[in-house]
Amino acid sequence: MNAVSFTSVTKEFLREDGGKLRAVDDLSLEVQKGEVFSIVGPDGAGKTTAIRMMCGVLAPTSGIVEVLGLNVQRQRAEIKKHIGYLSQRFSLYSDLTVDENIDFFAEIHGMKGFGQRKEELLEMTRLTSFRDRLSGRLSGGMKQKLALACTLIHTPEVIFLDEPTTGVDPVSRRDFWRILSGLLKAGITIVVSTPYLDEAERSSRVALMSGGRILQCDTPSAVKSSFPSDVFEIVIGNVREAADRLREKFGPNRVQLFGDRLHLHWERGSSESPHKALEEMGLRPESLRALAPSLEDVFILATQTKED
């Protein structure tokens, strides 16, 4: 039995002009028990809609959603006992302390004698010394860790996290994922949506999503190994002009701009070298080196190919 199963799931919303917006388009996927499953994509990809359907917050327009073998639409009350959900804007009560927020969510779930569980969560999230602080006075990263503690208070089997680290500083993001790794060892299934491809590297499997569809779904290493070209990183002055010239010669899908450097996709096994090609164009990079393809390389190429 899978932790989550989508079978040909579609979700449409009615637009103001009377038309329909298809946020999730005939989506099928399976999340196995005991894994971290990341759904990665930009804003508008359909990640949040998919997560909300998994939790029973939204009903699909068509298709079947199951969690722990239970139908989300018909058995929602039973499913709620076994899952935790942390939304993009988790509603902590700023005028309650850390302790009081956890107590409140424990009571919502009808828990009794949860003192030991609360102490374990405070220790895990490193919030024990802040237990008497009002949640409104916590930093962004600490608020997210408190939100996670509230999500976990009733010991769910599956947790759904919708972009939990968006807007959180890099140190807090790393700490948050350290906590998730501990949950994985405890056998909790984690489904997380994120716009950060570096976070997806920590997952058991990753689904690259765009336009309501899954472009690719596999382990991070398998996704990267599927990349069809060699990748060369180019550091060069006037990087945007260089990018334009390279795109004109090699095609727009083979050149990606990453801040102050470029990634050039080179045909694997080609008899010509990128060093010689750049030299013939009169381009003299400060640095040119081969790189292993990243998830970002794969995702951008998959998105461009889909658009083409």
- 3-state SS, residue 22: strand
Same domain, 149 and 264: no
pLDDT computed for residue 308 by the predictor: 53
pLDDT computed for residue 171 by the predictor: 85
Same domain, 153 and 275: no
pLDDT computed for residue 174 by the predictor: 87
Q: What CATH code is carried by the domain that includes residue 246?
A: 3.30.70
Q: What CATH code is carried by the domain that includes residue 164?
A: 3.40.50.300
Please say whether the dihedral angle defined by the alpha carbons of residues 222, 226, 230 and 235, taken in this order, is positive or negative. negative
Asked if residues 199 and 173 have their Cβ atoms less than 8 Å apart, the reply is yes
- Low-confidence spans in the chain with pLDDT less than 50: none
Q: What DSSP element (H or E) covers 177? A: helix 170-185
Q: How far apart are CA 268 and CA 35, in angstroms?
A: 33
pLDDT computed for residue 306 by the predictor: 63
pLDDT, tens digit (0-9, with 9 covering 90-100), for 103-143? 999 998 889 999 999 999 999 999 999 999 999 999 888 99
Q: Which two tokens stand for residue 120?
A: 């374990």
The pTM of the full predicted model, rounded to 2 decimals, is 0.88
Query: Residue 73 — φ and ψ, nearest 5°?
Result: -75, -40
Give the domain range for residue 274: 228-292
DSSP letter, residue 208: E
Same domain, 78 and 191: yes
- In 124-169, DSSP assigns E strands to 158-162
